[in-house]
Amino acid sequence: MTISRKIWARTADGKAIYRYTLTNNSGASVVLSNYGAAIVAVNVPDKSGKLGDVVLGYGKAESYFHDGPCFGKCPGRYANRIAGGRFALDGKIYELPVNNGPNHLHGGPEGFQNQVWESRKRKGAVEFKYVAEDGEMGYPGRLVVVAHYEWSEDNVLSLTFSAKSDKATVINLTNHAYFNLEGRGSVLGHRLRLNASEYLPTDDTLIPLGESEPVAGTPMDFLTPKRLGRDIRKDFPALRYGKGYDACWLVDGYMPGQLQEAALLTAPRSGRTLKVFTTQPGVQVYTGNWLSGCPKGKRGRIYHDYDGVAIECQHYPDSPNHPDYPPVVLRPGKTFHEAIVFAFGVE
């Protein structure tokens, strides 16, 4: 395993943006950046052994600055949506910036995905750290977050989050990489299996209505593998609201701290596969429904809607306003600790 680092760009105030490349003995590699603790590229073999990049991204570091799709980055302090940009904690109401219709999304406009993180190489790993000050984007508590990435000899990318706060706060962390296992074109021909018997219905602003519902008999059923595009045009609320899939499924068998398989994504032409494991209770699947018009991609590529799929393992949207959902409150003296594992292969 080799890990190299080079300066990619600098921010307007002079902060260095680095690219880290982790390459295993087979030549497969992962490229990471300390801007948003991002996954910039993943180069893995297809069924004929040819390496290809399976993660959407940009050619220029500056294109990652405040980009709409949040390519490959780690949003926070609270990934996904909080209704109306407000929540109550220990009897106090907190007001957050509204940046997605009437709601707060991904920690706000200056969320973790739009910050330069501290970074360092570790043995076989790269680690990013960000300190969010008390009151940043309206959240309570000085929060110290670490995102730890490891790349294995068998093409497994492991991401572990840990965080501590000096005040009670809420937290939800994920990675927002978009995958295309063919390396180009639409992902609607990819096949997806989700280890999820239930999903969260939402209103038309993608805020959960409350209780989960069974996927059986609906276009939300991925218990057996099916093409992402098979049902995406059906007249169903969750598909109308998002112009495609943009919903949270409940991982079957969830137990805090225990890795469970959440998803299996396969590509018919390349034969590449991606298994996703997580300790988190939910998986938000977003089929890149609004990618058109985003900055130019690597090698000048123009992205279109449905050119990538994000498989975001996380806690449920709007959990701070749903006390019956798995808890997202982090208190002083406690450590937030969650993991997401992306295992690449071929079939």
Contact indicator for 128, 118 with CB cutoff of 8 Å: yes
Q: Which of 156, 220, 230 is nearest to 190 (CA)?
A: 230
Contact indicator for 207, 321 with CB cutoff of 8 Å: no
2-23 core/surface letters (b: 16 or more CB in 10 A; e: else): ebebeebbeeeeeeebbbbbbb
The phi-psi region of residue 168 (left if phi > 0; otherwise alpha if psi is between -120 and 50; otherwise beta) is: beta
Q: What is the spatial distance between Cα 313 and Cα 328, in angstroms, rounded to a whole number?
A: 14
Which residue is catalytic, options 176, 190, 315, 322? Answer: 176
| Catalytic residue flag (residue 312) | yes
Burial class (CB in 10 A: 0-12, 13-18, 19+), 51: middle
Phi, psi of 286 (to 5 degrees): -125, 120
Phi, psi of 303 (to 5 degrees): -90, 145
Q: Which of 229, 188, 177 is nearest to 56 (CA)?
A: 177
Which residue is catalytic, options 182, 312, 315, 338? Answer: 312
Q: Which of 111, 174, 94, 105 is nearest to 338 (CA)?
A: 174
Residues with catalytic roles: 176, 312
